[in-house]
Structure 1
Amino acid sequence: MKKATLTLAMAFGVISMATQAQEASVDKKYTKEIEKLAKAKQVKSAFTLIEGYKEQTEKDHITLTEILAAPFKEDARGVAFAKMLEEAGVDSLWTDEVGNVIGLRKGTSGESGYVGIDAHLDVVFPEGTDVTVEKVGDTLKAPGIGDDTRALSNLISMLKAMNKAEIQTEKDVLIVGSVGEEGLGDLRGMKYMFNESGLDIDSWIAIDGGAMGRISNAGLGSKRYKLLVKGKGGHSWGAFGLANPHHALGKAIDIFSKAAWEFTQGDVERTSFNVGRIGGGTSVNSIPFESWMEVDMRAISPKNLDEIEAIFKSSVEKAIAEYNASGVKGEVTYELIKIGDRPSGELAPEVPLVQRGMAATEFFGVQPSLGRGSTNINIPVSKGIPAICIGRGGKGGGAHSLHEWYVNDEEAEESIKLALLITLAQAGLEK
């Protein structure tokens, strides 16, 4: 099954998201499947319950937002989310070795292979950030209020509605608060789930991002490095002429930028590079003993990602060698530390889960748009396992800023219903 899916994805090749969004259409059999599912008595009951939970969903949303889940510090929020899962009702509940909080809702068929649905626990903000929620009219304001905390409360609302409406699925469903989605977390939660947990997961739905209609069926790959350059260091006057790590770093940036720019402007699919952070040194009148930078490289094509990574490595090697041969006293040394590796991947629009996501979106009167992002689905998609990422709904802005805001409009509860429909279509509603 998984190998067949991978073959299907590769057969359709890598195409631009703009083209895919225009060309993708929904097979009528999936439209009929979703319409039939939505008419089921239990599902209609769950929809009504979700609407009735609106106030409680917002309370859960605020509660979780005000528990800061800084990078690699998701434990406290994970405990709170686990308690919500337990109160909503799961058949078993555990937190795995890396911190993913997992609730299992058993199916009735005994068929192997879990259907997973998740939202990520972590936010981008460091420890000490004030995450107190301010409500101004219908607007909630706080760092992390949208990305991705709202999606966590969506999962709780969906689970409660499934239980209250006595919905039974054929396959087992995993409801997950995952860790490490943001930044240097490097998708560690999903890497563990799909590489080390031993769980047989055959499809995945991530809730992340904004409005209904957005469906990511492809993962934008990235490679991230920290370049660390070291020297002896000394006084800017007394030790003048001594090898300077900052100067060597500047040469590395110059050589890499020129080579990478030439590559990205060639006949290749979209590829990017960015020097995002630079640091080091102790004072303006000191030759630094250490200099560092962090570099992000992204590409649609796995081949292009490998190529720009190779350009980066060779540029650094060339820059350091040239600098050390430039007549400076002594030399600098360097170390390359990989700090991020997110694989690329893409599933064809014809894959059933993608079709179900599109059909369910159309059911709510919204035009689906396929796209590509750097999200939790990068891991399963790169392995050929069906996975999509859908929006949390509502209106919002200022993501990753201290001024993030969210409005729980009429679309918000529709997005929870959307997640439920896709999950039931993939897991099967017991007849």
Structure 2
Amino acid sequence: MRYQTRCFMAPVILALALQTSKAQTSPESSKYESEMAKLAAQPVIKKALRVILELEPATLKDHILLTEIPAPPFKEKQRGEKFYQLLKAIGFDSVWTDRTGNVLALRKGKNGKRTVVLEGHLDTVFPEGTDVTVKHAGDTLKAPGIGDDTRGLAVVLAIAKAMREANIKTEANLLFIGSVGEEGLGDLRGVKGLFGDGAPKIDSYIAIDGGGIGGIVYGGVGSMRYRVTIKGPGGHSYGAFGLANPHHALARAIGNFIREADPYTRTGTKTTYNVGVIGGGTSVNAIPYESWMEVDMRSESPEKLAGIGELFKEAIQKGLDEENSLLRSGPKLTADIRLVGERPVAVQEQNIPLVRRAMASAGFLGARPVLSFSSTNANIPISKKVPAVTIGKGGVGGNTHSLDEWWINEKGYLGIQNALLILVAEAGLAK
């Protein structure tokens, strides 16, 4: 009950404060703030917000259960099967796994003219064999993937349960989704599949991934990821000395790239680059037969992203040519430049209803809304002109993508309540 008082009194006080300061807010903002206050005052919504609090033990149980099921890149099936079972137990019109591996549950709307998605991603960045046992240290939960994005999956389940218990009906259809392939070289394959041929039409998209409820991702940072492999015959470091060396060529290529990329990224729209993984070679006394690297480049500007991509390709060719010019015997080195990941730059207006509703909900619950660009599942729908946001999962966490990842259920219920309010506002509360 203590949490209920804190949860409901603070928003009411804030709503009153917002009404007294309308002169300092735009008419557009006031419109959505008023809409959110009216929605939260509806009896079925009040009940759902209470149910979310009552479900806290069950939500935490789901959170820990899913965290302890490994979901390495491209191997999310086991976690997906459990998520499917948990959705099935809630009671939906239909639950299924699509051909990409996404798990979907449909809750039909009153008119069903639109479809709104609420989604968390199943995969983590951690390789097969990683210990994902949840360890408790006081109120802190520690495990790889405990926050990103297993908590998002627990939020999706909690909202589905709360809507069932409160008997909330919406005008639009709702799709509750656990998606695959959000992380790393997964390249957003799950959400790309959701917008592929034969997929259900989606009109609005809400992804749960991130931190506090104030953070709202409304635009997508684009990225290109390359794997470059330089190959040669290889040989003994002494006996075959004079052969062109793939490692030397790769080192030259990296040096060339950094020299050009550094000044290029110091001005204009933020653009980044990172050589993340390097490999190859068999022994200290062997000229390697191949050398490879994986490189990530990102930008909020399509032009800047394309530009740094060209610099990268030119640097590879230059490094290859420089090393080949030094060979004393044997064939020249060759380079294979392969695009292994591409996320589109995605831009939409700040004033669209979904973004404004996300801002109004965060403000209603006592947070300061902050809009930003990032690289999330929302990149794909936004790039296809479908309104989308990525919102925080709530609670407090840190050390994301590390073995020491942690999460604390500090007012974590606010993340669930926030997502519920945005979802129902976007889908329309049916009478």
Please give the range of the TM-score, normalised by the shorter of the 2 chains.
over 0.9
1:1-44 CA distances to partner (integer Å, 9 max, x unpaired)? xxxxxxxxxxxxxxxxxxxxxx9996211111111111111100
What's the % identity of the aligned pairs?
52
Give the secondary structure class of the aligned counterpart of 2:404: coil
Give the secondary structure class of the aligned counterpart of 1:93: strand
1:324 has 2:312 as partner: no
Partner Cα distance (1:132, 1:383) in 2: 38
Partner Cα distance (1:346, 1:160) in 2: 33
Partner Cα distance (2:198, 2:76) in 1: 19
**Alignment check: 8 A CA contact 2:134 2:141 kept:** yes
Q: In structure 2, which of residues 65, 87, 90 is the aligned counterpart of residue 88 of structure 1? A: 90
Partner Cα distance (1:282, 1:272) in 2: 32
Give the secondary structure class of the aligned counterpart of 2:178: strand
1:67-123 CA distances to partner (integer Å, 9 max, x unpaired)? 010110100100111111111121111101111000000001131x31001000001
Aligned to 1:60: 62
Partner Cα distance (1:296, 1:137) in 2: 38
**Alignment check: 8 A CA contact 2:245 2:323 kept:** no
Partner Cα distance (2:404, 2:295) in 1: 26
Aligned to 2:100: 98
Partner Cα distance (1:95, 1:277) in 2: 33
After TM superposition, the structure 1 = structure 2 runs for residues 92-241 of structure 1, keeping only pairs within 5 Å, are 92-111=94-113, 113-241=114-242
Aligned to 1:33: 35
CA RMSD of aligned residues (A): 1.4
1:294 has 2:286 as partner: no
1:235-275 CA distances to partner (integer Å, 9 max, x unpaired)? 0000001111111111111111111112112x421111111
Aligned to 1:5: none
Quick one: structure 1 residues 335 and 136, their matched pair in 2 at CA, closer, same or farther if it must change by over 3 Å?
A: same
Partner Cα distance (1:229, 1:328) in 2: 18
Partner Cα distance (2:263, 2:135) in 1: 47
Aligned to 2:80: 78
1:270 has 2:270 as partner: yes
Please report the TM-score for the alignment, with normalisation by the length of structure 1. 0.92
1:311 has 2:311 as partner: yes
Aligned to 2:13: none
The size of the alignment, in residue pairs, is 406
Partner Cα distance (1:121, 1:26) in 2: 36
Partner Cα distance (2:277, 2:102) in 1: 29
Displacement, 1:288? 0.3
Partner Cα distance (1:124, 1:320) in 2: 32
1:423 has 2:423 as partner: yes
Give the secondary structure class of the aligned counterpart of 1:293: strand
1:364 has 2:368 as partner: no
**Alignment check: 8 A CA contact 1:170 1:428 kept:** yes
Partner Cα distance (2:245, 2:98) in 1: 45
Aligned to 2:249: 248
Partner Cα distance (2:26, 2:35) in 1: 18
Segments of structure 1 that go 5 or more residues without pairing to the other structure are 1-22
Partner Cα distance (2:199, 2:77) in 1: 22
One-letter amino acid of the structure 2 residue matched with residue 367 of structure 1: R
**Alignment check: 8 A CA contact 2:243 2:327 kept:** no
Partner Cα distance (1:359, 1:197) in 2: 34
Aligned to 2:14: none
One-letter amino acid of the structure 1 residue matched with residue 422 of structure 2: I
Partner Cα distance (1:128, 1:319) in 2: 37
Displacement, 1:197? 4.1
Partner Cα distance (2:404, 2:85) in 1: 29
Segment drifting more, 211-220 vs 309-318: 309-318
After TM superposition, the structure 1 = structure 2 runs for residues 391-402 of structure 1, keeping only pairs within 5 Å, are 391-402=392-403
Please report the TM-score for the alignment, with normalisation by the length of structure 2. 0.92
One-letter amino acid of the structure 2 residue matched with residue 31 of structure 1: E
Displacement, 1:378? 0.8
Partner Cα distance (2:259, 2:326) in 1: 20
One-letter amino acid of the structure 2 residue matched with residue 102 of structure 1: L
Give the secondary structure class of the aligned counterpart of 1:269: coil
Partner Cα distance (2:188, 2:282) in 1: 33
Q: In structure 1, which of residues 41, 50, 53 is the aligned counterpart of residue 52 of structure 2? A: 50
Give the secondary structure class of the aligned counterpart of 1:291: strand
After TM superposition, the structure 1 = structure 2 runs for residues 400-419 of structure 1, keeping only pairs within 5 Å, are 400-410=401-411, 412-419=412-419
Quick one: structure 1 residues 277 and 114, their matched pair in 2 at CA, closer, same or farther if it must change by over 3 Å?
A: same
**Alignment check: 8 A CA contact 1:24 1:349 kept:** no
Deviant stretches of 4+, over 2 Å: 23-26, 195-198, 325-330
Partner Cα distance (2:325, 2:397) in 1: 53
Give the secondary structure class of the aligned counterpart of 1:201: coil
Partner Cα distance (2:253, 2:137) in 1: 48
**Alignment check: 8 A CA contact 1:26 1:358 kept:** no
